[in-house]
Amino acid sequence: AWQEGVYEFVDKVLHSWPKKGRHAYCCMLSNPQNLDIGSLISSPSMSPFAHALRASDYFVVVPNCHCSIYSRIWCTYEAFLAYSESKVIVTASAPIYGNGRWLHYITTTVIVVTAVSAAIAAQFALLEQGCYYFCDEARIVENVTLALGVACNIFTAFIQPSLTYRVLAYTSAVFSSIHLGSSIRAAVTMCARNGLIGNFSSQRWAQTFFGIGICIGAVTLET
């Protein structure tokens, strides 16, 4: 819409570039904007943009922080044409800087919370007839934290990278780590007493690996 800065434009395009994309057509760079281009766009459906769009697989919308790009009728037509041609439409977003620092924070949180959860779990565990299990209250906490961890992971699939996205990723890591710590404690204890298989040892190991998967998912959300 002619109001975005070039740095904002480049950041968003590079951050949201389709994985299979190889080339890009951009009107503001492709058309001789300082000349009379009336003949090029007199028939919008036969304009250079329209031809380029028909040969493409993706249509990347690059919004800016100053105004809606759809306040310009040409941008609206471009979106209409992309939809009519059944192109994959991607709305570009800016990168979140400082990912390296946050990746360090979330990884450290997973390790610390898992260790603390494993230590606390021992205080709420019962051993009866060779089976290691938690009291009802602890089991409820274990199941609820797992459900919340999975839910936060799923919700991130429906939102763009933002502060909310980061909070959900961090929350998923915390809840998943609580579940993981208790599962590791139970699995290791039962394995030591009853072997790798039998007396629910296999079930506990399955829960442990599932918890590890959720934690890894939460961490990779920050990469």
pLDDT tens for 191-202 read 666 555 445 555
Q: Are 181 and 121 within 8 A, CB to CB?
A: yes
Distance CA 53, CA 189 (A): 61
Mean pLDDT of the chain: 76
Average pLDDT over residues 64-84: 88
pLDDT digits (tens, 9 = 90+) for 112-170: 887 887 777 666 655 554 455 556 666 677 778 878 888 887 887 777 667 787 788 88
**pLDDT at 111 (0 to 100):** 80
**pLDDT at 130 (0 to 100):** 47
Average pLDDT over residues 20-39: 82
Distance CA 147, CA 154 (A): 11
Q: Are 223 and 99 within 8 A, CB to CB?
A: yes
**pLDDT at 208 (0 to 100):** 66
- According to DSSP H, which parts of the chain are helical? 6-15, 27-30, 38-41, 48-54, 73-84, 99-121, 136-155, 163-194, 201-220
Distance CA 64, CA 94 (A): 10
pLDDT of 59 over the 90 cut: yes
pLDDT of 179 over the 50 cut: yes
pTM confidence score: 0.46
**pLDDT at 189 (0 to 100):** 67
